[in-house]
Amino acid sequence: MGALIRQFYPSIIASGLQSFCRKMITPEPLMTKIESSDIHNKRPLTQSASNARNKKPKLKKYKTKKVDPTSPRGVLEFEIDELLGKIGLDREQIRNDVSAILNDVPKVNGPIAKAYHRIVNNVKILQSTSNGDGMALIDNPVEIEKKQLALIPFGLVGDVVNINVYKTHPYHVETDLLDVIEESPSRKDELITCKYFGKCSGCQFQFLSYNEQLELKRNTITNAYKYFAPRLVAEKVVQKVGLTFGSPLELGYRTKLTPHFDVPRRRTLESKPPLGFGQKGKQKWRKETLDCGGHSSILDIEECPIGTAVVNMGMRNERQKFEINYKNYKRGATILLRENTTLLDNSCSILEQLKDDSSKDMDGNISFLEVEDIRTGAKLAKTCVTNTRQVVREYVDGYTFRFSAGEFFQNNNAILPLVTKYVRDNLQIPNSEPGAPNYLVDAYCGSGLFSICSSKGVGKVIGVEISADSVSFAETNAKNNGVENCHFIVGKAEKLFESIDMPCDRTSVILDPPRKGCDELFLKQLAEYYPARIVYISCNVHSQARDVEYFIKETERGSRYKIESLRGFDFFPQTHHVESVCVMSRV
């Protein structure tokens, strides 16, 4: 038998000849002997079924996901350690047995998962996170010698609250805020203007005075450098963070909103799904809002008070269309609402100058508002755009910018003139001789906002961007605004400064990267270029702090720079977000 197999089936040899032959010659019985207890109208058990019955269930394991340390989840780990240090606890004393919860291990009074997920009363909030949540300590319900660290949305330091614990992580638990028993001195609920506040995930600070919001954001910047640039802080390279620049508009400032909706899989829509923004858990502390927006994961939101007036007009228009057309959708979608600005020509009627593809009401009329620029007195018309590929216009600091509606552009135009002036003032090279030429490099230049707004008083500006589309818009914007000293190039990430021929001693550099910040390769190139001055603008102060420390401490020439100033700009009032500007100059 073995010889025949070797001759005709050589492949079998590789997979185990002896085992194969044994099975061919002496096949295993199909059934095991029937036990006496199984003879009463029961099917005989196979060997595999018997083994399966006696086999222990495989336990689930908790898998820790990798997170960027500068992301909200990564920053939370630093904030947890800071609170533990203040109260004299270590990580082991707040560690949760997540594996036991996953496998629903029994305990005296029932499953562990049920014990962890519970209501806890009279909890005092001890600290705030950069994400706008409160932090508190509660008793561990299973390991009585331990504590748990609870994150509490819409909780303020000094509040005493009732909470519902609904999700457990290794070193913290997520909760819903049920009641505020004792109010923090900072809490001013009478300031709340939105009926969805306390449920919607968009805003966190509507119950704080604006000065307190600005101070919280200054603390966020201070903590970011403490966490991600500890060597600079220890060596006092980072001086005190300056006061946060406030927004001229605290409400009605946001020029872009993106409401969305979900369509359940394999289900025909019989009723309109909610269209709006994500719900922040299942908060119940504001009793008057319990029925506002519904109870699904997406709230049905009719109006957003931080959106501009014309964006809210667009929201009303699109919601009315959605009421009629929702059954046409087979899957969920996001609706773009982007403000568009037209610089009006007094010789033509307004309607003649508006694009026909702007958002219209149910009668087919374009929704618009006529406004006047407070700085220049120019007459402007505001419309709302919903097509991501449509080219829109914004009017900033006397300049008009064109870009695709779906692309990135700053979403608070009220504060932009303050930011562009601050950047422009800090690009000036100190101790310059009268008449000495100045130059500017704008890395991550996008559609040319900072390049064009900083072009006055500079001999030449070079904007560098890896996106060819953005460079095309930047060139068009410079031409349309009559700016002749700006030039834009598509740069390669590994050789970003290769085409820069301006003398570094007379050149300043603007950095305005995306949230993830700059990579090490770019920072090494920046240090090698060795500009006289650097202005780093960031929408994520944590990645900014990381980059600044790497630049000063790890690059060859970075140690020759000092931090001159560090300040925040409040691009998003009522929320936890803050934009930071760090100015560095050669020593």
Q: What single string gives the DSSP state of each residue in 456-473?
A: TT-SEEEEEES-HHHHHH
Q: Sign of torsion, CA 109 113 114 115?
A: positive
Q: Both tokens of residue 282?
A: 């299942």
Residue 581 has pLDDT above 50, yes or no: yes
Cβ atoms of residues 510 and 440 within 8 Å: yes
**pLDDT score recorded for residue 121:** 98
Residues forming the annotated binding site for S-adenosyl-L-methionine?
410, 444, 465, 512
Q: Both tokens of residue 305?
A: 């008070």
Residue 383 has pLDDT above 60, yes or no: yes
Bridge-based pairing of strands 256-257 and 173-182 is: unpaired
Bridge-based pairing of strands 110-111 and 160-168 is: unpaired
**pLDDT score recorded for residue 264:** 81
**What whole-number distance in Å separates Cα of residue 501 and Cα of residue 503?**
7
Placement of tokens 């060859």 in the chain? 556
Q: Sign of torsion, CA 85 89 95 96?
A: negative
**What whole-number distance in Å separates Cα of residue 276 and Cα of residue 200?**
9
Which of 86-95, 411-420, 493-502, 514-523 has the weakest average pLDDT? 493-502
Taking residues 42-67, what's their average pLDDT? Answer: 63
Cβ atoms of residues 565 and 583 within 8 Å: yes
Q: Both tokens of residue 152?
A: 């509490």
Element holding 384 (H helix, E strand): strand 379-385
State what percent of residues in the chain have pLDDT above 70: 88
Task: Report which of residues 281 and 3 the model is more confident about.
Answer: 281
Cβ atoms of residues 340 and 382 within 8 Å: yes
Supply the mean pLDDT for the chain. Answer: 87
**What whole-number distance in Å separates Cα of residue 381 and Cα of residue 326?**
30
Which among 414, 380, 422, 396 is positioned nearest to 255, based on CA atoms?
414
Element holding 309 (H helix, E strand): helix 309-325
Task: Report which of residues 272 and 29 the model is more confident about.
Answer: 272
**What whole-number distance in Å separates Cα of residue 461 and Cα of residue 565?**
23
**pLDDT score recorded for residue 50:** 53
Taking residues 130-134, what's their average pLDDT? Answer: 97
- HSE of 74 in the Cβ direction (CA atoms, 13 Å)? 15
Residue 54 has pLDDT above 70, yes or no: no
**pLDDT score recorded for residue 309:** 97
Alpha-helical regions (H) of 134-252: 210-228, 230-234
pLDDT digits (tens, 9 = 90+) for 2-44: 444 444 344 433 444 344 334 433 443 333 333 333 333 444 5
**pLDDT score recorded for residue 4:** 40
Strand arrangement of the beta sheet that strand 173-182 belongs to = 119-124, 160-168, 173-182, 147-152, 134-139, 127-128
Q: How far is CA 99 from the centre of its chain?
A: 29
Q: Both tokens of residue 184?
A: 């923090």
Q: Which domains does the chain have, with CATH numbers?
A: 2-187 (2.40.50.140), 213-249+412-586 (3.40.50.150), 256-404 (no CATH)
Placement of tokens 């790497």 in the chain? 550
Q: Which residues contact 366 (CB under 8 A, 6 or more apart)?
A: 351, 354, 356, 358, 359, 360, 383
**DSSP for 179-193?**
EEEE--TT--GGG--
Task: Report which of residues 357 and 177 the model is more confident about.
Answer: 177
Residue 430 has pLDDT above 90, yes or no: no
Residue 484 has pLDDT above 50, yes or no: yes
**pLDDT score recorded for residue 21:** 38
Widest Cα–Cα separation across the chain:
108
**What whole-number distance in Å separates Cα of residue 565 and Cα of residue 548?**
12
**pLDDT score recorded for residue 355:** 77
Alpha-carbon distance values, 510 to 100, 427, 486, 536, 557 (Å): 51, 8, 14, 6, 18
**pLDDT score recorded for residue 11:** 42
* Residue 198 backbone zone (phi > 0: left; psi -120 to 50: alpha; other: beta): left
Q: How confident is the model at residue 66 (pLDDT cuts 50, 70, 90)?
A: confident
Placement of tokens 């040899």 in the chain? 13
Taking residues 406-430, what's their average pLDDT? Answer: 92
Q: Which residues contact 542 (CB under 8 A, 6 or more apart)?
A: 69, 70, 74, 75, 130, 224, 227, 228
Q: How confident is the model at residue 436 (pLDDT cuts 50, 70, 90)?
A: confident
**pLDDT score recorded for residue 27:** 41
- Burial (CB < 10 A; 0-12, 13-18, 19+), residue 86, is exposed
The residues that are catalytic are 539
Task: Report which of residues 342 and 493 the model is more confident about.
Answer: 342
Q: How confident is the model at residue 114 (pLDDT cuts 50, 70, 90)?
A: confident
Residue 108 has pLDDT above 60, yes or no: no
pLDDT digits (tens, 9 = 90+) for 317-370: 999 999 998 888 888 999 999 999 988 888 888 888 887 778 999 998 999 999
